[in-house]
Structure 1
Amino acid sequence: MASIFSTYSTGENRVTASFLAVLRALSLDRMQRLLGSLMEQSEFELIRFENQPSKGGVGVPDAMIQSSIRLLLETKIVRDTVSVPQLKRHLERLDEGNESVALLLVLTPDDSRPAGVDEVEDSRVVWASFALLDQAIDEILDDKYEVVSEREAYLLRELQSMLAAEGLLANSNDVVVVAARNAWPEYNDFQAYVCQPNRSFQQVSRIGFYSKGVVYPLVPRIIATHDDVEMRSGLHQGPLGELVDHLVQTGK
């Protein structure tokens, strides 16, 4: 089934626009809870409601609705692509405002905090992974005390489906295990796994081989992947060219 977000542009803009579309459709409480989970602030408030505020001036009004926050969002859909100069430019934009709370949320598929986030050394920069976003959505939907409308639940699940389809949730430490009746001998000969073109795999860092009821103990690290390779001698360069030339020459 096609995602309801399929009409958005591709890449980072599509992911960001989809995330914002869902946030807009949520109730204020749900929006604050979701953003608070990403920023590890359980009491995060976009808008504060207070009855009979007595501080900050003369007189006590019956109620106060107050907000002074600027939250910038930088989205990456490829691991290890956080740019320090880009983050610094975003922080300069935060400096231009006079909000009491100014934060830069960096949302990426990385499994751990990107080095670039630490390099800027600014407490206003907050990093979160798409896996954490996925987990935060699950916690909201599984909370029996959270009254989530059918529309909100549908949009949140659709967002999770889109993130999974984009390959943003898989842990890079995961292993894909492939049928190895032919793949295992090929790997031992060529140190490569060859399959049909454009086969879909989640983003993983290692590959395992299964054959005759056994998973072989060697789990090699994936150095590079190529989705659609033309098997023609002399066409490619480097390790890929050497492999293709060998396969063509041996008829493998």
Structure 2
Amino acid sequence: MASIFSTYSTGENRVTASFIAVLRSLSLDRINRLLGSLLEQSEFELIKFENQIAGKGHSVPDAMIQSNIRLYLETKVVRNSLTARQLNAHLEQLGDEAEESKILLVLTPDDVEPKLISEINNDRMVWASFSMLDQAIDEILEDKHEVVSEREAFLLRELQSMLAAEGLLASANDVLIVAARGAWPEYKDFHAYVCQANRTFQHATRLGFYSKGVIYPLVPKIVEVHDAVEMRAGQYQGELGKLVDHLVETEKRDEGVIYKVLLLSKPDSPETLTLDHPIPNDKRSKSGKPTAFTMGQRYVASEKLMTARTTSDLDS
């Protein structure tokens, strides 16, 4: 099926226009969360609402609605294509007006932050990758406490599909890390990962589990992927059939419900990557507050997993 964004021009204009079009269609809460994830500011507010404002004078207005953000967006669709001249010009354009927050958001397909970002070293400039945008969308859609309309969910998924079609999510990161409060014990028991049907993942060869502040040390190989599996005993053959029969018979899944199933290598299999120790999470937001390594899914390189002491090592 063709993307709903196919009418836009190709390259940077197409991607930028598509991203802005989706943002315009989202609720303010969703915009704040999506941009806040890219900026690593969980408290990000595009518009600020306050009641009973105590001003400098003697009056107390009933409420205040204040827009305090100027955010420029620079998009690249080719890796390692940033230039200092362009970025410095954008920063200069931010000017000296009185907005509380003036930010240049640089969005690129690079796997790690380009060196130029740190070389310019300007607090008003923030880099994010399209993979980070993809992950932020996943975490919004998978958050049970986030009330997302069908229209918003459709637009966000379409944006993800376009990013994938444009080749902006390709990465050397070969391990899918999932939030795993219940998934980790299920893996040890069933050697599988069961989630909502047709859930979208980037290409990955391994699955890792994050819960209780650590990435667990067993990183199994993804053996088979089944996007839509009905929980019904006797319906499937082989390892998938054994798994489904067991889940239904032990009432760990309701019969007739459809799930996505990833069959994984066993904990003692030579195909399973075994780390020396769990990797503790030390991730912090820009304001210094502790934040989860992932609330849904994200992608890392297996080579970095093997040497990381903390999760911050995975971003270096």
Higher relative contact order (CA 8 A, sep 6+): 2
How far residue 54 of structure 1 moved from its aligned partner, in angstroms, is 1.8
Q: For 2:95, what is the secondary structure of its paired residue?
A: helix
From the superposition, tell whether residues 57 and 102 of structure 1 become closer, same or farther in structure 2 (CA, over 3 Å): farther
CA distance in structure 2 between the aligned counterparts of 1:147 and 1:174, rounded to whole angstroms: 31
Where does residue 10 of structure 2 map in the other structure?
10
Quote the residue 2:133 is aligned against: 133
Paired residues in the alignment total 179
Whole-Å separation in 2 of the counterparts to 1:174 and 1:18: 27
Corresponding residue SS for 1:140: helix
Q: Does the 8 Å CA contact 2:48/2:68 hold for their aligned counterparts?
A: no
Instruction: Provide the secondary structure at the position in 1 that maps to 2:53.
Output: coil
| Letter of the structure 2 residue corresponding to residue 162 of structure 1 | M
CA distance in 2, matches of 1:104, 1:55: 31
Corresponding position: 1:93 with 2:98:
no
Residues in 1 aligned to 2:157 and 2:91: alpha-carbon distance in whole angstroms: 32
Q: Is the 8 A contact 2:140 2:146 kept in 1?
A: yes
Say which SS state the counterpart of residue 94 (structure 2) adopts. Answer: helix
Q: Residue in 2 aligned with 1:36?
A: 36
Are 1:84 and 1:119, in contact at CA under 8 Å, matched by a contact in 2? Answer: no
Moved over 4 A (4+): none
Superposed counterparts of 1:54-65, under 5 Å: 54-65=54-65
Which residue of 1 is the match for residue 105 of structure 2?
A: 105
Q: Which runs of 5 or more residues in structure 1 are unaligned?
A: 176-201, 204-252
Indicate the percent of aligned positions where both proteins have the same amino acid: 71
Separation in structure 2 between the aligned mates of residue 59 and residue 85 of structure 1, nearest angstrom: 48
Kindly state the Cα deviation for residue 56 of structure 1 after the two structures are TM-superposed.
Answer: 4.3
Secondary structure of the equivalent of 2:72? strand
Q: 1:79 and 1:174, CA in 2 relative to 1: closer, same or farther beyond 3 A?
A: farther
Relative to structure 1, is the Cα distance of residues 57 and 14 closer, same or farther in structure 2, using a 3 angstrom cutoff?
Answer: farther
**Bigger shift: 21-30 or 54-63?**
54-63
| SS, match of residue 71 in structure 1 | strand
Letter paired with 1:95: G
Q: Which has the larger radius of gyration?
A: 1
Task: After TM superposition, give the deviation of residue 55 of structure 1 in Å.
Answer: 4.5
Aligned residues: CA RMSD: 2.1
10-19 or 165-174, which moves further after superposition? 165-174
Measured after TM superposition, the shift of residue 96 of structure 1 is 5.0
Shift of residue 97, structure 1, vs aligned partner: 3.4
Per the alignment, residue 121 of structure 1 pairs with 121
Contact 1:51 1:64 survives alignment (8 Å): yes
Between the aligned partners of 1:12 and 1:144, the Cα distance in structure 2 is 33
Counterpart in 2 of 1:156? 156
| Aligned position for 1:216 | none
